[in-house]
């Protein structure tokens, strides 16, 4: 069963420890997603691609 995690107001889905999907709201206000081999890779991607408010 997949596990959902909220990280910095973005969604991460852990299908397994080495199958992770992340969703982020980008600067254009569009939702992007990507798949990763680890939770840490997904978090780094979110940190680099999330919308900067303010």
Cα dihedral 26, 31, 36, 39 sign: positive
**Are the beta carbons of 49 and 10 closer than 8 angstroms?**
no
Q: Cβ distance 27 to 35 under 8 Å?
A: no
Residues 3-32 have a mean pLDDT of 93
Residue 18, number of CB atoms within 10 A of its CB? 10
Q: Is the pLDDT of residue 19 over 90?
A: yes
pLDDT above 70 (res 10): yes
Examine the pLDDT at 53 and tell me if it is beyond 80. Answer: no
- Check residue 26 and give its pLDDT: 80
- The whole-number pLDDT of residue 1 equals 86
51 φ/ψ angles, rounded to the nearest 5 degrees = -70, 135
Bigger pLDDT: 50 or 37? Answer: 37
Name the CA radius of gyration of the chain, rounded.
11
């Amino acid at each position: 069963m997949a596990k959902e995690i909220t990280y910095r107001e973005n969604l991460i889905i852990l299908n397994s420890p080495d199958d992770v999907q992340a969703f982020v709201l980008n600067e254009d206000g569009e939702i992007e997603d990507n798949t990763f081999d680890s939770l840490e890779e997904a978090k780094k991607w979110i940190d680099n691609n999330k919308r900067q408010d303010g």
